[in-house]
Amino acid sequence: MGEANGTDHRPHITVSHLTMAYGSFVLMRDLNFTIHHGDVFIIMGGSGCGKSTLLRHLIGLKEPAQGNIYYGDENFTRADPAKRQEMVRRMGVLFQSGALWSSMTLAENVGLSLGEYTDLSPAEIRDVASLKLALVGLKGFEDYYPSQISGGMQKRAGLARAMALDPEILFFDEPSAGLDPISSRLLDDLILELRDSLGATVVVVTHELASIFTIGNNSVFLDTETRTMSAGGDPKELLAHSPNPTVRRFLTRGGEEKI
């Protein structure tokens, strides 16, 4: 498939003048960016700069200190709880550690939201759950508990759970953290594959350069020093043309020369 497939230019998520704070401590101020339908959008930046916090804002686990987040034309930040529930249901999230529910089998993990939000019978739910697990290469592991499988498998199972309701947007928090280079490459391929086949928008928090250049076609760079975003756009473009030295240093692992 081609380069910019699936991407059209309708905005999917718009972040407007977002300020993130813990109490009186301001983490990032005045963030403005737009994620389009079909984008693989990278949130990048150094450790502790607020990447994961930004993700928590986007999925509604944390409230903005200022500013608004829009999904399409709908204001997510100001939505009432019922509306918000409905918007959240269109998102799938893969947490950093997988965050599978440890008291449930993989099939139950994937099937829980299906049982809640669809009218499928238990047998059908199990079929769909098996299918989702098969998509991430975990066919046959339906009755395993999360503690019985490896970290990489837990992450893939987490992805299967995130995809259970065929979400329009998939969020990934550090998908390659704790994975060996091959597993993390496979996960990257899987992310692209899913974006292309499901037509979903993908938002990834990461600082893995390899991933950033392989999968990203749009990005935002959070700068710890200035406490705001210092660049945005296609990571490859940023590497080639960004005027900002911090961004270039980040994208070249500290060296100024191009890779």
Partner 1 sequence: MQTGDAALEVKLAGAWRLRGGLPSASLLERELDGAPRIKSVAFDTKELESWDSSVLAFLVDISALCRQRGIQMDTAGLPSGLHRLLNLAEAVPEKKGARKESVATPFLQRVGNTAIGAGSSLAEMLAFLGDMTLTFFRLWRMKVRFRAVDLFLFIQQAGVEALPIVSLISFLVGVILAFVGAVQLKQFGAQIYVADLVGIAMVREMGAMMTGIIMAGRTGAAFAAQLGTMKVTQEIDAFTTMGFSPLEFLVLPRVLALVLMMPLLCLYSDIVGVLGGAAIGVGMLDLSWTTYLRETTNAISLTDVFGGVFKASVYGVLIALSGCLRGLQCGNSSSAVGDAATSAVVTGIVAIVLACGVFAVVFYVLGI
Site of interaction with partner 1 (CB under 8 A): 56, 59-61, 85, 88-89, 91, 93, 95-97, 99-103, 112-113, 116-117, 161
Q: Which is nearer to partner 1, 95 or 141 (CB)?
A: 95
User: Cα 98 from chain centroid?
Assistant: 12
CB of 163 to partner 1, least distance (A): 12
Closest contact distance (angstroms) between CB of 180 and partner 1 is 21
In the complex, what is the shortest distance from the CB of residue 233 to partner 1, in angstroms, rounded to a whole number? Answer: 28
Rounded to a whole number of angstroms, the minimum distance from the CB of residue 234 to partner 1 is: 28
Q: How far is the CB of 3 from partner 1 (least distance, A)?
A: 31
∠ CA 80-53-248, rounded to 5°: 130
Beta strands in the chain (DSSP E): 11-22, 25-36, 40-45, 66-71, 74-75, 91-94, 169-173, 201-205, 218-223, 228-232
Closer CB to partner 1, 102 or 121, in the complex: 102
Q: At what angle do helices 122-135 and 106-117 cross, to 10 degrees?
A: 120
DSSP 149-207: S-HHHHHHHHHHHHTTT--SEEEEESTTTT--HHHHHHHHHHHHHHHHHH--EEEEE--
Q: Which residue has the tokens 């280079």?
A: 181
> How is residue 228 written in tokens?
């705001």
Distance of alpha carbon 33 from alpha carbon 36, whole angstroms: 10
Q: Of the two residues 53 and 217, which places its CB atom closer to partner 1 in the complex?
A: 53
| Amino acid letter for position 240 | A
Our CB check for partner 1 shows the closer of 155 and 238 to be 155
H/E segment holding residue 86: helix 81-88
Compare residues 85 and 150 and give the one whose CB is closer to partner 1.
85
What minimum distance in Å lies between the beta carbon of 118 and partner 1? 13
CB of 80 or CB of 116, closer to partner 1: 116
